[in-house]
Structure 1
Amino acid sequence: MTANSPDLGEQALSKVAEIGISNQLDNVEDLNIDIRTNPGKFIQGEVDSVEISGKGMVMKQDLRMESLEVQTTKVSINPFSALLGNIELDQPANAEAQIVLTEEDLNRALASSYIANKLQGLKLQVDQQFYTIEFHRATIHLLDSGSMSLDIDFVLKESNFVLKESNEDKSLSATVIPKVNADGQKIDLEILSVQGQGLNPELGAAILKQITTLLDLSSFDLPGMTLWLQRFDIQAEKMIIHAKTKIEQIPNF
C-alpha cells in the first residue's frame, strides 16, 4: 500500500458515507468518497479532508447533475458514532464545490413535474394589465459565447377590470447571461435580447424576470449540505457552477 492509499479505517469510513449519500439519491452512475485521517487523529475526532465526487447524480425532484465534486479541509467528527457506522460532524465543515450541468440536464429539469408545477399559473402585472401564464414548453441552449438562449411556448391569459379575458398561444425567444444573486442561492438573468410573437419588450422581460424567481440553487443541495453560488462558466452544451458549501451532516445508511 502506498503512502497516499487509504488504510482500512479510512476505506470503512468512506464506504459508510458513500452508502448514506447514495440512499438519498434516486440514481447515481458513480459515487466516490475519500475520507483521510489516521488512527491517532481519528480517536480525537479529527479528519484531514473529505472529497466527494459523483457522476450522473439524480436528486429526489428528478434533477440531474452530470458531475459533482466537493472538497473540504479539516473536519471534526464524533469518533464513537463513526465506529457504529454513523458519521456525525461536531461542527459544520466548509468546502468548495463544482457542479457540471449539461444542456440535457437543464432541459430535463424544466420538464420535471417539480419545476413544471412551479411554472404553471404564474401571475404578473405590466403597465397595469394583469396576466396569467401557462407554460407548454421551455428549452435551454448553452452557447460557447458564455450565454444561453431560452425558447418558451406558453398560453398568455389576459384579464382586465371589465372581466374580459383572452387566451392566446405565444412564444418567446431570449438570449441571456446568468448572474449570481446577492444571496448566492438564486440566479439572475442579464437579458441580452428578447423577442416574442405578439409580445412587447416590457412584457417579454417581465416574463423572464418571473421565471428567474424560480431558479433556486437549493434544489441541487444534497441532504445535510447547503450551496452558495460563486460564479458560472458556460460552454457549449455545458454549465459549470462554482460554489461554496457548508456540510452539516453526512447522511446515514
Structure 2
Amino acid sequence: MFGSLTGLKNQQGTDWGEKLLNNVASTTIRHLFTASESVEVQVRCFPSSKLLQGSIDSFKMSGTGLVIRRDFRVEEMSFETDAVSIDFSSVLGGQLRLKQPTQAIAQVVLTQADLNRSFEAELVKKKLENLSIPALDEIFEGETVSFTQIKVQLLENNRVRIDSEVVTGKGKTVPVSLTSTISVERRRRISFTEQQFEAEAIPESFRDISQTLTEALGEILNNMVDLDKFDLDGVTLRINRLETQGETLVFSGYAQIEDIPKNAKSGN
C-alpha cells in the first residue's frame, strides 16, 4: 500500500496520496465548525514520496458561511501555511494530526449582518444586560439598565455606527447612538476610538441622558469585543489589521495552529 502511494495516479493525473490527504483534511476541518456552507482544502506535496515522511509543501483552507461556537458566523475564512509536518499514518486512519505547531497567513471576512448577529449571542448579551451606570443612579433611582436592539452599520475609513435602545428595570426606554473608528489592539481585541455621540438621531428630550448612556456603551464595547471568540479548537487567530469594505469587515493576520482535534465541533 505504501509503495503504491508514490506512483499511483488517478485518471485526471492527480496524485492518489495527495487526493486522499485533501479529502481527509476537508472532512477534519469541516468538523471544526458548528455549520458551514462550503469548506475547501488544498494540500500540495511534490514529490509525493514526501508524504511518507509526513512532509507537505503547503496547506490551504478556505471556507464560506462558517458558524463558530453556534453563534458567531463569518462570511469567509482562509489560511495558508508554508511547509508543514503531519503524521501520515493518521491520514490512512481518516484523521489529520500535526507533528508540530505551525503558523499560517489568515484572512477573515465578516458581513454587517454577521456583526449584528453576534450581538444576539447569549455570551455577548450577558455583558450588556442588568448593568449599573453610576452617573445615572439618581435619575434611574439605582435601577440597572440593559442595552438591547443593537444595530451595527459599517462606514468608510474603518468607521462604524452603533445604535441601541436602553431599557431600565422599570421598562423606560432611551435610544443611544454613536459613531467610532475601529482598530485592532494587541492583535485580538477591537478598539473603539474617536467615539462621537450622534445627537441628531436622538429626540431632544432624551439627549442628556442618552449621551451619558452612549459613553457607557462605548466603554463597554472597548472591553468586550474580543476576537478570541472566533478561535477554533486548536487554532488561534491573531489579526494585524482590519478594513471596512462596503458592508464587510476584513481582518488580515495569521493563524497559530497547535493541533486539529479528532472530533472538534466548535458548537460544543
Q: TM-score, normalised by structure 1?
A: 0.85
Q: Provide Cα deviations, 1:149-199, integer angstroms capped at 9, x if missing partner.
A: 000111246xxxxxxxx76421111111111112x2211101341146333
SS at structure 2 position matched to 1:243 = strand
From 150, 161, 165, give the equivalent of 1:153.
Answer: 165
Structure 1 range deviating more: 146-155 or 122-131: 122-131
From 35, 42, 56, give the equivalent of 1:47.
Answer: 56
* Match status 1:14 vs 2:22: yes
Shift of residue 26, structure 1, vs aligned partner: 2.4
Determine the C-alpha separation between the residues in 2 that align with 1:178 and 1:144.
Answer: 11
Partner of 1:173: 177
How large is the Cα RMSD of the aligned pairs?
Answer: 2.6
From 193, 197, 209, give the equivalent of 1:194.
Answer: 197
Q: Provide Cα deviations, 1:11-33, integer angstroms capped at 9, x if missing partner.
A: 21121122122223222111101
Partner of 1:163: none
From 115, 120, 124, give the equivalent of 2:124.
Answer: 115
SS at structure 2 position matched to 1:198 = helix
Determine the C-alpha separation between the residues in 2 that align with 1:137 and 1:241.
Answer: 25
Partner of 2:218: 208
Give the share of equivalent positions with the same residue, in percent: 29
Q: Provide the aligned length of Structure 1 versus Structure 2.
A: 243
- Relative to its length, the structure with more strand (as a share) is 1
Partner of 1:160: none
Distance 1:78 1:208, change over 3 A: same
Q: Provide Cα deviations, 1:120-176, integer angstroms capped at 9, x if missing partner.
A: 22345449987733122100001134311000111246xxxxxxxx76421111111
Determine the C-alpha separation between the residues in 2 that align with 1:228 and 1:191.
Answer: 24
Determine the C-alpha separation between the residues in 1 that align with 2:235 and 2:79.
Answer: 10
Distance 1:40 1:103, change over 3 A: same
Q: How does 1:47-86 map to 2 (within 5 A)?
A: 47-86=56-95
In terms of Rg, which structure is larger? 2
Q: TM-score, normalised by structure 2?
A: 0.81
Distance 1:200 1:64, change over 3 A: closer
